[in-house]
Amino acid sequence: MARTLRVILPPAVVAMSAAVAWGLIATRPQVSKRPPEVPLRVVRVLEVHRVEHRYAVESQGVARPRTETDLVSEVGGRVVEVSEALRAGGYFEAGETLVVLDPRDYELAVVRALGRLAAARLRLRVEEAEREAARGEWESSGESGEAAPLRLRDPQVEEARAALEAEEAGLELAARDLGRTRLVAPFDGRVRAAQVETGQVVPRGAAVARLYAVDRAEVRLPVPEAELAFLGLALDRPPGAGDGMVPVALEADLAGAVRRWEARVTRLEGEVDRGSRVVHLVAEVEDPYGRRGGLPPGGAPLVAGLFVRAVVQGRAVADVTLLPRHVLHEPDRVPVVEAHGSGTRLRLRPVQVLRRERARVVVGEGLSEGDRVAVSPLESPTDGMAVRIAEDGP
């Protein structure tokens, strides 16, 4: 019997397994096939508004005084007095005496000139008297014809008169040299550097200090040549001549705070840099040190040499749209969300880009009031792509 089981049992087990497998296959549930669902891209939108926009051009530069000059000694001599203001950073007023040279040699020169002038006047009077006497002798002599000028002493009188005029000029020159021993300030300003001390002997024509005025400061602002179109400056006449002033906002980091000043463009330099293709605007600040009207609360002087950032106000343009710069896709297309049946689709609409600014673009034609522009970051958007508008969050 054991032998019989070893023969019959394996085929029976195989047959039973096959029957069970067939039953499982025959009774399996039917699977329904459906197309895969593609999730819609969720985008945020920005409603288009047509507005008026004023361009602005950014630049930077270094503040400098508008007027700067050397204080030069027009005469030579020993320094006997130096003003306390004649130190680096010192303030002075127009007409203030800054340096005094020893005047004694020049006072003596004036005295000598006065003596020569008195002698010249006396000589002229003597010559005029002798001419009158010679003319009387000629008239009483009864001689006919005209007397020789030399006999009437006309040349001698003219020579004496010329000598008198020369001595008068010499006295004026001596007096002027005496006045030049006092070196006075030509304007209200500050001292950049001084090179003179009491007891020093300075020659004629020596520069004893470097001065600059404090009535106005200038900032030279480089601007790319193409940016001039957004400023609206007339290239054939100075800024402000019939166009109104061109405002400039200046700011700088000074003493741990951001300081601001108001300026205006006064001129446009007449050259374009060959290497960088930039032109230079010159912005001017009135009373940068507050010497006339005082500084506003929290204000600071616009000191010479300070690096400043500048925003030059440009011309205004009407009926434009301002968009974040990242929504612009090349070549100058903007993703606009439009209704399509029961859903919405994305359309890449071509637009006219008037200007690309640092964080936004100025769009002219191509968008209408009320259009919805997708502002969510989109990678490889396609025209006609189905999208869903995100609900506004907190």
pLDDT digits (tens, 9 = 90+) for 99-129: 999 999 999 999 999 999 999 999 999 988 8
What band does 393 get if pLDDT is binned at 50, 70 and 90? very low
Please say which residue of 301, 316, 331 terminates a domain. 316
Q: CATH number of the domain that 206 lies in?
A: 2.40.50.100
What tokens were used for 222? 């480089």
Q: Is residue 341 part of a domain?
A: yes
Q: Is residue 379 part of a domain?
A: yes
Query: What is the pLDDT at residue 269?
Result: 85
- CA dist 188 and 195 (Å) reads 20
What is the domain range of residue 142? 103-180
d(CA 88, CA 68): 14
Domain count of the chain? Answer: 4
Q: What is the pLDDT of residue 297?
A: 76
**Does residue 373 have a pLDDT over 70?**
yes
Residue 150: predicted pLDDT: 76
What is the value of pTM for the model shown? Answer: 0.72
C-beta neighbour count of 225 within 10 angstroms:
12
Rounded Cα distance, 355 and 230, in Å: 9
- pLDDT of 244 > 60? The answer is no
pLDDT in tens, 272-297: 888 888 999 999 999 999 888 778 77
- Asked if residue 227 and residue 202 are part of one domain, the reply reads no
Residues 161, 124 contacting (CB under 8 angstroms): yes
- Out of 177-181, 205-209, 281-285, 294-298, pick the least confident: 294-298
**pLDDT band with cut points at 50, 70 and 90 for residue 183:** very high
Would you say residue 234 has pLDDT above 70? no
C-alpha 143: how far from chain center:
85
Contacts of residue 170, Cβ cutoff 8 Å, sequence gap at least 6: 113, 116, 117
pLDDT of 79 above 50: yes
User: What tokens appear for 354 in the block?
Assistant: 């008037």
Mean pLDDT value across the chain: 87
Alpha-carbon span 268 to 279, nearest angstrom: 8
d(CA 290, CA 172): 40
Shared domain check, 235 and 193: no
Phi first, then psi, for residue 71 (nearest 5°) are -85, 110
Cβ pair 160, 127 in contact under 8 A: yes
Sheet containing 97-101: order of strands: 182-184, 97-101, 77-82, 201-202
pLDDT surpassing 70 at residue 84 = yes
* 174 and 131 together in one domain: yes
Q: Give every CB contact of residue 265 below 8 A, 6+ residues apart in sequence.
A: 233, 239, 240, 245, 246, 248, 281, 282, 283, 284, 312
pLDDT of residue 242: 44
pLDDT at 39 over 70: yes
